[in-house]
Chains A and B, each alone.
Chain A
Amino acid sequence: SSAAMAALRGRAVLAPLGARLRAGPRAPLRSAASGPPLYDVVVSGGGMVGSAMAAVLGHDIHFHDKKIALLEAGPRKEYDHMPDSYSNRVSSISPGSATLLSSCGAWDHVCSLRLKPFRRMQVWDACSEAMIVFEKDDLDDMGYIVENDVIMSALTKQLDAVADRVEVLYRSRAVGYTWPLPSQSCDTSPWVQVQLADGRRLQTKLLIGADGHNSVVRKEAEIKNIEHQYDQSAVVATLHLAEATDNNVAWQRFLPTGPIALLPLSDTASSLVWSTSHDHASELLAMDEESFVDSINSAFWSNINHSDFIDTAGAMFRSAISLLKPSGTAVRQLPPSVAKVDPESRAMFPLGMGHATEYVQQRVALIGDAAHRVHPLAGQGVNLGFGDIACLAHHLSAAAFNGSDLGSLKHLLKFETERQRHNVSLIAATDVLKRLYSTTLTPLVLLRTWGLQATNALPPVKVRI
């Protein structure tokens, strides 16, 4: 009779999620032996976060006998040959993220390709002299500026290394998901059904959505997303400095139109991330290279937005602090000036913020931009995603070692609680900072000036940041 059970046919009843693809009842689910291939984990989205998730799980000891699939809509890219010129899409990688990438063996590859460690971050206001400097007391690196392509190259190599358990499906865009019914009733499959654009089907015990801020997984799971489009776009470019320097400082200045940041790539090159209004961004892209370079230098050097009142108030506050805490004001370094921009390296993309109200559901988890989207001003975007991976992989590894069903809500909720606790405050703070620095109104400028100066003087707060 157990053989009869195994051969039992059942109809996969459609869960009532309004989506254009499910017009009628699906074809009957054949027995496990001949149905769509069943995976333990399917990661949807082959960007930095999705690829890292698959690589970390693939290198986990308790997943050594499991089957993982990574779905990537695009084709496989060959990263064997790194071009001499730098790519304009870079990320600031925190030490924690570097640790995660080491755990799956990818960091070594990154180091052997190229990266730029930085020791110091100087952040200051365009409307006042207020400045805050972050640096570690010991000689450790604060973070690393790495091209996104370099990270992808490293992750692709590490995915190849565990090809026996991780199958990367390129040119495989998921177009629909069918969720299992809540309680284990009768003959319906308990797994998530994934439908690909080319008609192929997969089943999985756990679906991880790493498909970006317009996540299809999130939409199909009907998870509410709090989102807001900023009226800003980010302009990126690869710049060449006027003169070679140690270039181990990351610079960011808050202009009324948005923050402009210079991230070191090498002793002579830096990456630009300039968040500004859509119109201004288009202008920057359209102008000739010389004018573009002039705009950048002027943005960093000009004091046009200062007002006497603010300057005086700021100076008073600073002397007050130095009475209380003599070392409380840091030395202001001067940012490098830019000489040239790499042709063809200018690009822009719109900015927004988003946060999913839930990160998990039965058999589904969201990570990276699918779960949360932030303004680049804090340089945290991809680090939040890597933090999600570290947390989720930890819980999944423990669940696998306990023989648990990987899609069970119990450990997925632990992941959600931990990460929401961590992410929400950072995302909210980033949003507040963005709004606070988008104004020239004197009271707010004074507030943030004093705030920044005070924060600069207070070690405990700085360390936490």
Chain B
Amino acid sequence: MVAFRYHASSAAQPGCSVLDEAFQRYRDLLFSSSWWQPPERTRKQHAPEKSSLVILVSTPGCNELPSLESGENYTLTINDDHCFLLSETVWGALRGLETFSQLVWRSPEGTFFINKTEIEDFPRFPHRGLLLDTSRHYLPLTSILDTLDVMAYNKFNVFHWHLVDDSSFPYDSFTFPELTRKGSYDPATHIYTAQDVKEVIEYARLRGIRVLAEFDTPGHTLSWGPGAPGLLTPCYSGSHPTGTFGPVNPILNSTYEFMSAFFLEVSSVFPDFYLHLGGDEVDFTCWKSNPDIQSFMKKQGFGNDFKQLESFYVQTLLNIVSAYDKGYVVWQEVFDNKVKVRPDTIIQVWREETPVRYTKEMELITGAGFRALLSAPWYLNHIAYGPDWREVYMVEPLDFKGSPQQKALVIGGEACMWGEYVDSTNLAPRLWPRAGAVAERLWSSELVTSVDFAFKRLTRFRCELLRRGVQAQPLSVGYCEQEFEET
């Protein structure tokens, strides 16, 4: 195999950067010298030689961004007459190229082979995501880009970037540069500049991956405080401020002026239609302690129900963001606390047992007509001894009581790698190949459930990941032809 070629009738042609770049990548992956066996010039086999894989994409769209609605179907036909990849969109072609790369194998003599194959493929769920947390620990740009590469090998298509949180604010805001200067771990080294962000978005796009940016409020915002005085709620002890701060202060107009300006920037920097607005784990104690908030609550008639105050904030924020023509994803608390959201809001389910078991939560959310994303059983930061990938694999996202219409509202899920105990020293082995179990669950048919069959394939795939330079940890006892070598 030497080349990838565009079919004459393909809507994508040379100049289509998504595919041009992909051809180069896959050519390197398949045919570069990283194979451990050197090729021999014997022509013992009588297999017909193929010179190229021909790609036909029927719909143009090379310079666009992938979206939730993007089709990712493709067919792959390898036989005596054809070596043919057909897809509607360039995104489908990317998926097909990855599959093709997994079909090519090398004989002991060194010749490349591919079996006669007929593949028809399309994903079960359109939103197959991976969350990275760059606030608890800064992740260097290379870690993020490397992760995007491996996501593409696994057909993940959403990078959920949990950029900021209590611990640090690495996002370099041009509207509010003080946020970064005062909130990042080190403004010289531990930030993501506008250039970095652009790079991530384009790198992702070339792999058919959407970047879903999350700016979590009103909780999880301690790092915003130093750079935006007055934004966070001052906590009180009796009648005196303690000097510590709580969630975003929901009673001040300045808060919403700030959010308007901030999310105007965010909406322009991140081109995906959706933004993730967070809304999880809002601790009410600080609000409760604050006398101004207490009077506000009284005036509004919220009584002692801080969920209503939270609703008040979130609703105002959602209106701001809607005005920027963005859709939004929120964590399940927003739904649990009965915030009034737009019907096209996507709710992300992350809590395993509270307020109800996550399967019940999926039932409630879809029952109320909202689209749902499943993450609760896929918190990959929760490590344990042994092959925990099996539990991850055995999750059935539609395993709850509901009508077919309800189940259709489950648009997919996300594996989450929260960063409290994770940084670039251990991110790759902790992510891979365990996240691969989630990837298959979200792409493949619900009938593909045999854990033993998955084990066989995932072990081999893990060795292939090693060959591709991914620091994927072992699933169990054994070996790969080419082991990982530390640098």
A interacts with B = no
